Amino acid sequence: MNDIDIESLKGIANQLRIHSISATTAAGSGHPTSCCSAADVVAALFFGHMRYDAKNPHYYNNDRFILSKGHAAPLLYAAWAETGLFPVSDLLKLRTFGSNLEGHPTPRLPFVDVATGSLGQGLSVGAGMALAARLDKLDYNTFVLLGDGELAEGSVWEAASFAGIYKLNNLIAIVDANRLGQSQATAFGHNVGVYAERFEAFGWRVEVVDGHDIEEIVEVLGGIGLDDKPLVIIAKTYKGAGVSFLQDKEGWHGKPLSTEEAAKAIAELQPTAKSGAGVVIPAPNHLPEPNNPAPAGYPPINYKIGDKVATREAYGNALARIAEVDPRVVAMDGDTKNSTYAEKFFNKFPARFIECFIAEQNMVGVATGCGTREKVPFASTFACFFTRAADQIRVAGISQANLKLAGSHAGVSIGEDGPSQMALEDVALMRAIAGSTVLYPCDAVGTEKLVEQMAQHRGICYLRTARPKTPVIYNNDEAFPIGGAKVLRQNAGDKVTIIAAGVTVYEALKAADALKNEGIGITVVDAYSIKPLGKKEILAAAHKTHNAVITVEDHYAEGGLGDAVAGDVSADGIKVHKLAVTSLPRSGKPEELLAHHGIDAAAIVKKVKSL
Amino acid sequence: MNDIDIESLKGIANQLRIHSISATTAAGSGHPTSCCSAADVVAALFFGHMRYDAKNPHYYNNDRFILSKGHAAPLLYAAWAETGLFPVSDLLKLRTFGSNLEGHPTPRLPFVDVATGSLGQGLSVGAGMALAARLDKLDYNTFVLLGDGELAEGSVWEAASFAGIYKLNNLIAIVDANRLGQSQATAFGHNVGVYAERFEAFGWRVEVVDGHDIEEIVEVLGGIGLDDKPLVIIAKTYKGAGVSFLQDKEGWHGKPLSTEEAAKAIAELQPTAKSGAGVVIPAPNHLPEPNNPAPAGYPPINYKIGDKVATREAYGNALARIAEVDPRVVAMDGDTKNSTYAEKFFNKFPARFIECFIAEQNMVGVATGCGTREKVPFASTFACFFTRAADQIRVAGISQANLKLAGSHAGVSIGEDGPSQMALEDVALMRAIAGSTVLYPCDAVGTEKLVEQMAQHRGICYLRTARPKTPVIYNNDEAFPIGGAKVLRQNAGDKVTIIAAGVTVYEALKAADALKNEGIGITVVDAYSIKPLGKKEILAAAHKTHNAVITVEDHYAEGGLGDAVAGDVSADGIKVHKLAVTSLPRSGKPEELLAHHGIDAAAIVKKVKSL
């Protein structure tokens, strides 16, 4: 501790405050007072405690820092500017269109691993990073700075419980308890004992400090890793700290100072401010770099045409298979591994399997965190339960995260369990995620090949699988490129093109057989890649059937396959007729439900005849 | 306590077990062991403690019961059958297509207020009901039965914190701590002290009981309301309790017994089983019925054409205005009331305003709960943050809840705050909710009128509002029916129909002006009702422009306005060209972002010319 110059850190904290105020005043928007409260903590971390190579923010054994309270972005930018990574003059470009110094942090910046700004998500991501450190035998610590307001988010407590269970003593949460939320005081104000009790009950070691006493902050940081619990430092702070007319005052959330106010504030801070330049930042230990190359190929698959295998089971087979040759693959489960068949992976690779229990938000956050550390994380649960993590997935899109999600039990074809267990909106949700890929295979071969594609493709990929067993229809050597589609039936004179995916492919094939007996030919396309859509194949098929298309999907009519096709090819003059689930389902046998909702073979036959 | 016959309750518990086993065996699926663990608790509640009119499950002062662990549905059904509400023989119709006794409870049944089955949601709904009881001066209690596995869900802790803050001592949580999850033991097993500590830290009074000791259960139930805290009863139980070969055994989750196994189990239970028929259920107190009629009309609005008013502000105005004449209206906020302008309601009606802090899942659950008690709940936050509650909204759809959501700050037009604060997938998400209505006004008049429509319409309504101030373009007496659209510009010889909504309406109007100067006429339609879409108006306009349509939206290209229009009218031969946000945005000025993403007037002009 002796080599840390406390007086310097105090000066740096004020320098960070000045930068935060200047930048937000220049931008005309932002959250200067939320920066001021955390400035001492950030100064202590970045210029005293954390071990990292400031010239190389991506260095694999650098301590990680996540600004979960992302609205304090100017403070983070100020800290990195003061390390010398980029000129401090750049800070005045905050929030301008040409700058990567955005209103809330995004990984467009080399020192940001994940986007923040939707509160309560950072701790899960940090837990994923802390777990990855263990898997990679690295000794970096992961620090997550949270606001007190965001402790109301349940996702924080999912992460807290998880970190406690896994005894992640390389994960450190710091709560900037500045008492004031956006529109009013927080529920507990400066009664920080409430937070202390909660974290203790969730398995954490708790230190409560004066968040403006750098000596105290540095001292408790010295206790990291002393026992087997994650550590939370609850820093009692004041919003706007350091500036007389801002400190602890309501009505200043998310407001920049006027030029005059800024000058006045800076005049108060300047006398004790000090640049971070020249401060020697502790270097990380040089441990062996994790060596996890992508595999050159995968073990073969061996299905027989006609074998009945649920796509969810093929997912489990695929995960266990590709993991044999790809040590980057890890898997997360939400206590559904016996239903999603992720247990096939668990049985083979228990050390790379992370049981997240029934906490889907945290599961996705942990997976996202692992993804930032060059793992290839596959998280699986019932497709409908990924909806619980919709915001985490949205933000993962902004993070351009490498994240693989496999949702099982999609659609009414699950049958008796009823509507709460049926994903009927998942495709709409997943299509609308920035940069996402949405895949929906109908058989085991397609599933296996698409899991390979997911592992190879950098980005968010969603795989939709079904509960019922369905026959294998593809040969083992069939290729399933992302963005493709398969023409399963096509003859000259076909009247209409049926575009199906997943279970409805079989209904379309049955309809084709039935119509053939009546002398009516239809084209059947398996649109296994919903985003990007196999537009080329679909257009080509549709043009041959006089631009007449029927889509059929086990999903609500909004935002799914039908809308995807219509949205993509309507401009080309294709007439798209949608068959989809248009009313609230109920329990029943899968075939009863497919019939009731008009997405079975009979409904397709009827629709074809009506055209 | 003396008048409760403990021996009878023990017998009834076994009767409920028998029914649960019989029904799931008949169905061939279901969760009998999850029923057996909670049978004693449910018997004690339904036949000893709870006050309700069993012939009239909707009676306004009945105690409420939410089965948050919805997979134990057969137990709930058995209890109500034993009260005499319907024949016990109906229980054997469990999970069949013709029966309302579904795999998980839905409000198709008169004694179910909200659908459950997506774990961790019941406590928030219960908190909403408990709050509604206070508002209505009723003395019913709300009981929520949770599993131990679902305590991993963060939404439970959002609700727990909320109930603690609001001191809801008319809310009782019972945790059926049966130790076993779906695919393995829970993280804490029978170490129920962990749960006790957590609830205590979240402001609850905690009682730990042997969940199979009915005397103990009844005794702690007698302590409800003794202090000002909500009460949680942590019942230590065994999964499959009461049947020797099921009790506390792994591998039995979600598995029905074979006919032989069922017979063996029933043989063990039968000797001590007892029907609930004839048990006198305590009657509720007869307090004055809340008299909250829908209003005959609303106070007038008074905007001037050209006034610049953000739609989010008009939302606040509308909420405060309609609440003057509609006492059913209550509002929930996620600490954003100064941004969403819900504070205008708060300032006028603080007693009907519920600050939920930064916990959107719970906010939606509380609103849903209030809705079941005949309130008209309006919950508001930034549109992007409703994504956090996507699963609660999905399940509210299954509940056919009366729920009003207002999401502000939609789209890239928010500008500098950056992508984490921009809702660009909200329309996709909300369209895909069963039975939802999705509204997106462009001016203050439209917003005010649509808020009136939302209050009158029973169901889930989503209102999308924007951050920037936009001019009023409609007269105060303009009507905005759900499912309509407005033709703003139309002349003979128009080349194409532009379909816009929200901020892009103004871009379309600017484009029309610019093109008019070049002698090119375009039709402009304000599609303020995205679901249901104003299909009639859109088709009529499109047919007049040779079926050429351009949609333009401040939303991702997937699942939004463009897909809605294409999906609805492509079959009619309309060619829909989509302008939408197709790449990840960044911080910048609103006009820079609209231009960069090709959804401003210039982009519309360019697209029109290209056709």
Residue from B581, B421, B291, B555 nearest A395 by CA: B421
Q: Quote the tokens at residue B301.
A: 């609005």
pLDDT of res. B293 = 87
Are the CB atoms for B442 and B311 separated by under 8 Å?
yes
- Residues A316, B519: Cα–Cα separation, whole Å: 61
Please, which residues bridge with residue A410 across strands?
Answer: A423
Partners of residue A423 on adjacent β-strands: A410
A chain contacts of residue B200, beta-carbon cutoff 8 Å: 197, 201
**Alpha-carbon distances, residue B170 vs A203, B131, B438 (angstroms):** 29, 9, 35
Q: Which comes out higher in pLDDT, residue B3 or B20?
A: B20
C-alpha A155/C-alpha A588 separation (Å) is 34
Name which of A420, A427, A535, A586 to mutate to probe chain B: the one with the most chain B Cβ atoms within 10 A of its Cβ. A420
Best CA proximity match to B385, nearest among A74, A70, A107 = A70
Chain B's closest residue to A253, CA to CA, is B338
Mean pLDDT of the A93-100 span:
97
- Give the burial class of A129: count Cβ atoms within 10 A of its Cβ; 0-12 exposed, 13-18 middle, 19 or more buried: buried
Q: Which two tokens stand for residue B182?
A: 């779906």
Cβ-based contacts of A387 with chain B (< 8 Å) = 390-391, 394
Residue with tokens 């509604």: B132
Quick one: which H or E segment has residue A317? Answer: helix A311-325
> What pLDDT score does A102 carry?
98
Question: Which stretches within B64-153 are classed as H helix?
Answer: 73-83, 122-135
CB atoms within 10 A of CB B280: 8
Q: Among B428, B578, B586, whose Cβ lies nearest the Cβ of A432? A: B428
Looking at this protein, which amino acid is placed at residue A446?
G
Q: Inter-chain contact A419–B106, Cβ cutoff 8 Å?
A: yes
Residue B161, phi then psi, degrees to nearest 5: -65, -45
**CB–CB contact B149 A357 (8 Å):** yes
Percent of chain A with pLDDT over 70: 100
pLDDT at B214 over 50: yes
Mark out the alpha helices in A191-253 (DSSP H runs).
193-201, 214-221
Mean per-residue pLDDT of chain B: 97
Distance CA A93, CA A320 (A): 48
pLDDT at position A293 is: 87
Identify the band that residue A241 occupies on the pLDDT scale cut at 50, 70 and 90. very high
CA gap B109, B93 in Å, rounded: 14
Q: Which residues contact A309 (CB under 8 A, 6 or more apart)?
A: A303, A443, A444, A469, A470, A472
Q: Give ∠ CA B353-B359-B361 in degrees, rounded to 5.
A: 95
Cα distance between residue B370 and residue B436, in whole Å: 18
Under a CB-based contact definition with an 8 Å cutoff, are residues A209 and A177 in contact? no
Q: Closest by alpha carbon to B179, among B161, B191, B167?
A: B191
| Closest to B509 (Cα-Cα) out of B412, B577, B601, B596 | B601
Look at chain B and count its residues: 611
Residues of chain B contacting A432 with CB distance shorter than 8 Å: 424-425, 428-429, 556, 558-560
Q: What is the pLDDT of residues A299-344, one digit of tens each?
A: 999 999 999 999 999 999 999 999 999 999 999 999 999 999 999 9
Helix axes A561-569, B561-569, angle to 10 degrees: 90
Beta-sheet strands, E only, within B340-436: 353-355, 376-382, 403-408
**Burial zone of B259 (CB within 10 Å; 0-12 exposed, 13-18 middle, 19+ buried):** exposed
**For all residues of chain A together, what is the average pLDDT?**
97
For residue B1, name the pLDDT band (cuts at 50, 70, 90).
very low
Instruction: Tell me the nearest-neighbour CA distance from A279 into chain B, angstroms.
Output: 32
Q: What angle do CA A177, B164, A155 make, to 5 degrees?
A: 55
Cβ count within 10 A of residue B332: 27
> What letter would DSSP give residue A267?
H
Peptide bond into B105 cis (omega under 30): no
Q: Give A403-422 pLDDT, tens digit per residue.
A: 999 999 999 999 999 999 99
Q: Is B407 exposed, middle or buried (0-12, 13-18, 19+ CB in 10 A)?
A: buried
For B52, B170, B196, B221, B229, the CA distances from B226, given in Å and listed in that order, are 21, 10, 18, 10, 8
Predicted confidence (pLDDT) per residue in B269-297, tens digit: 999 999 999 899 999 999 999 988 899 99
CA–CA separation, B13 and B17 (whole Å)? 6
Q: Distances in Å between the alpha carbon of A24 and those of A18, A19, A259, A318?
A: 10, 8, 10, 50
- Asked whether A125 and A115 are in contact (CB, 8 A), the reply is no
CA distance B555 to B562: 9
d(CA B403, CA B259): 43
Tell me how crowded residue A536 is: count the other CB atoms within 10 A of its CB.
Answer: 11
Q: Please, which residues have CB within 8 angstroms of residue B90's CB and are 6 or more apart in sequence?
A: B81, B99, B101
Comparing CB atoms, the residue among B149, B395, B418 nearest residue A420 is B395
CB-nearest partner of A361 from B154, B165, B419: B154
List residues bridging with B378 in a β-sheet. B331, B404
Question: Percent of chain B at pLDDT above 70?
Answer: 100
Q: At what angle do helices B6-27 and B259-269 cross, to 10 degrees?
A: 170
pLDDT at A113: 98
Say yes or no for a CB contact (<8 Å) between B153 and A593: no
pLDDT digits (tens, 9 = 90+) for A200-223: 999 999 999 999 999 999 999 999
Furthest C-alpha separation in chain B:
91
Pair B209, B235: CB distance under 8 Å: yes
State the average pLDDT over residues B359-386: 98
What SS3 class is residue A446? helix
Residue B24 to residue A417: CA distance in whole angstroms: 11
Q: Is the pLDDT of residue B552 over 80?
A: yes
**pLDDT recorded at residue A1:** 40
- Which tokens belong to B410? 């939609």
Left, alpha or beta for B564 (phi > 0: left; psi -120 to 50: alpha)? alpha
A181 and A149 Cβ atoms separated by less than 8 Å: yes
Using alpha carbons, list the distances in angstroms from residue B49 to B38, B233, B284.
15, 14, 11
The pLDDT of residue B411 is above 70: yes
The torsion defined by the Cα of A252, A196, B142 and B67, in degrees rounded to 10, comes to 110
| Mean pLDDT, range B553-564, rounded to an integer | 98
Cross-chain Cβ contact B570/A576 below 8 Å: yes
* B364 φ/ψ angles, rounded to the nearest 5 degrees: -70, -40
In chain A, % of residues over pLDDT 90: 98
Please state, for a pLDDT cut of 90, what percent of chain B lies above it. Answer: 98
Which pLDDT score is estimated for A199?
98
Q: Is the pLDDT of residue A518 over 60?
A: yes
pLDDT above 60 for B558: yes
Of A149, A420, A563, the CB nearest to B566: A563
Amino acid sitting at position B136 = D
CB spacing of A335 vs B391 below 8 angstroms: no
Find the mean pLDDT for residues A498-524. Answer: 98
Alpha helices in A330-459 (DSSP H): 337-340, 343-348, 360-372, 390-398, 426-431, 444-456
Active-site positions of A?
360
Band of pLDDT at residue B161, cut at 50, 70 and 90: very high
Q: Tell me the torsion sign for CA atoms A242, A247, A253, A259.
A: negative
Instruction: List CB contacts (< 8 A) between A359 and chain B.
Output: 152-154
pLDDT of A2 strictly over 70: no
Strands, E assignment, B41-114: 64-67
Angle at B456 between CA B453 and CA B458, to 5 degrees: 110
CB atoms A102 and B586 under 8 Å: yes
ipTM: 0.98
Please say whether the beta carbons of B154 and A158 come within 8 A.
yes
pLDDT at B4: 83
Q: How far apart are CA A313 and CA A406, in angstroms?
A: 11
Picking from A568, A313, A524, A584, the residue whose alpha carbon sits closest to that of residue A431 is A568
For A261-286, what is each residue's pLDDT tens digit?
A: 999 999 999 999 999 998 999 999 99
Q: Which of B102, B153, B360, B452 is catalytic?
A: B360
What average pLDDT score do residues A440-456 get? 98
Distance, in Å, from the CA atom of B159 to the CA atom of B198, rounded to the nearest integer, reads 13
The string of pLDDT tens digits covering residues A178-206 is 999 999 999 999 999 999 999 999 999 99
A113: Cβ contacts below 8 Å, ≥ 6 apart: A64, A66, A107, A125, A129, A369, A372, A399
CB B257 within 8 A of CB B21: yes
- Residue B2, pLDDT above cutoff 50: no
DSSP at A381 = E
How many residues in total does chain A contain?
A: 611
The burial of A7, by beta-carbon neighbours within 10 Å (0-12 exposed, 13-18 middle, 19 or more buried), is given as: exposed
Checking if the pLDDT of A3 tops 80, the result is no
Q: What is the pLDDT of residue B291?
A: 80
Residue B300 has pLDDT above 70, yes or no: yes
Asked if the Cβ–Cβ distance from B184 to A588 is below 8 Å, we say: no
